[in-house]
Structure 1
Amino acid sequence: MNNSIQVMARDQLSQQEEKEVLRLLLTSFSAKFGTLHLKLDEQLDILVYLDRKYSQQLAPVDYIAKKENKIVGLLTIAGTTNYPQKLAYPFELVKKYGFFTIAHYLLLLTALDYRSADKEQYIENIAVHEKCQKQGIAKELIEMAQANTKNGEKLTLLVSAENTHAKRLYLKCGFSIVKRKRKVLLGFLVNEPNWLFMEWSR
């Protein structure tokens, strides 16, 4: 396979790479982020702003697959959660896009947030560029994360119960379903209330 995978902390990315990562996430999860019918550049503007100014995580780790020096795949291990005592509301974005739009984004990001336990690495995102899918990139990223998991540690993730393709991939990579979760807020926001919590341990 002509892909190279790099392991990088989010704060090591250049601004251009950071934008590429967020753009890849937006296009990969367009059903979730596209419910407000904003243009891709507008969605990207919102996520870049929120990621830089209001991120509640410290140094998430990205496994980045590159092809011809372009980011084509991404697996993110959530960083340490650090909840500030007071989080300022992004009024600059509200003025630009409206209260409902920004409230929707903040609710969605909050609903997807997860606190990792000790010796747990939570896979926050797996995304592959639409033109590079079905080439084994996601499997390669997962195997790289597994190879970097220490003895006694586990990898965990949350996947929609309706996402049969992703579920099949995770089972093939050795993950097992630990519990089924019903998330009312995600059901309201993205019409996907049923989720599976999966884990793999070394």
Structure 2
Amino acid sequence: MKKKISLVNRTQLSDYEKNSIFRLLLTSFSAKFESLRLTSKEKLDILLYLEQKYSTQGKALVDYLVKDGEEVIGILTVSDKIVALKNLNYPFELSKRYGLFTILKYVILLTSLEYQAHEKERYIENIAVHEQYQKQGIAKALITAAQSEVENGDRLSLIVSAKNQQALRLYLKCGFSIVKKKRNFILGLLVNEPNWIFMEWSR
């Protein structure tokens, strides 16, 4: 199945596209959010709020999108080196609505998944394909599109759960190498995934 890949700066996305993207990410990474006892709509509302207030500050985020009609069915997000991170305040508005402990857990989870890219490095923040469109080469096409934008001497990096053997095989097939294995105590507690693998690809 051939689908066009669009390269879009995060700030250029419409509200509908952002909703579609985060619905896809919530579905694809549902295991990481299942400990948060909220409805899908509540989780989506929180992610959109954090995205609007915090996620893009200091980062240049680029999304590679695959659509079927208006719906996003595949996404790969790349970030560059953080250039000027502003002072971030705890989202007390969300805590009033959903409870302090719930939002604190949410923030800790998202912070634990964060990675700061270095000079001449672009980092794959996430990659997801709608379950009805998997095993059609979309994930590989997204990775290839991201690789095509990497300049000579630069590198593309990512972190993948050691549990995710399917993704690990795909990245190896796409030319990524395992740089190191690391343990994350916080992610072990929150999502029962303490073992992670850092991988790189360079032109």
Question: What TM bracket, shorter-length normalisation?
Answer: over 0.9
Q: Which residue of 2 aligns with 1:8?
A: 8
Output the CA distance in 2 between the equivalents of 1:57 and 1:74: 21
Output the CA distance in 2 between the equivalents of 1:111 and 1:60: 18
Shift of 1:147: 1.1
Q: Which residue of 2 aligns with 1:117?
A: 118
Q: Which residue of 1 aligns with 2:98?
A: 97
Q: Which residue of 1 aligns with 2:27?
A: 27
Alpha-carbon contact 1:60-1:80 (below 8 Å) kept: no
Alpha-carbon contact 1:57-1:79 (below 8 Å) kept: no
Query: Which deviates further from its counterpart, 48-57 or 68-77?
Result: 48-57
Shift of 1:2: 3.1
Q: What residue identity is the alignment partner of 1:42?
A: E
Q: Which residue of 1 aligns with 2:136?
A: 135
Q: Which residue of 2 aligns with 1:83?
A: 85
Identity level (%): 58
Shift of 1:122: 0.4
Shift of 1:38: 1.3
Alpha-carbon contact 1:11-1:59 (below 8 Å) kept: no
Q: What residue identity is the alignment partner of 1:159?
A: V
Question: Over aligned residue pairs, what C-alpha RMSD do you find?
Answer: 1.2
Output the CA distance in 1 between the equivalents of 2:74 and 2:145: 12
Q: Say how many residue pairs are matched.
A: 201
Alignment of 1:159-170 (within 5 A): 159-170=160-171
Output the CA distance in 2 between the equivalents of 1:41 and 1:198: 33
Q: What residue identity is the alignment partner of 1:180?
A: K
Output the CA distance in 2 between the equivalents of 1:152 and 1:15: 36
Q: Deviations over 1:119-147 (max 9, x none)?
A: 10100100011111111110000001111
Is 1:154 the counterpart of 2:158 in the alignment?
Answer: no
Q: Secondary structure at the match of 1:2?
A: coil
Query: Which deviates further from its counterpart, 62-71 or 101-110?
Result: 62-71
Q: Which of structure 1's runs of 4+ aligned residues deviate more than 6 A? A: none
Output the CA distance in 2 between the equivalents of 1:47 and 1:79: 21
Shift of 1:68: 2.6
Shift of 1:80: 4.1
What TM-score do you get using the length of structure 2 for normalisation?
A: 0.95
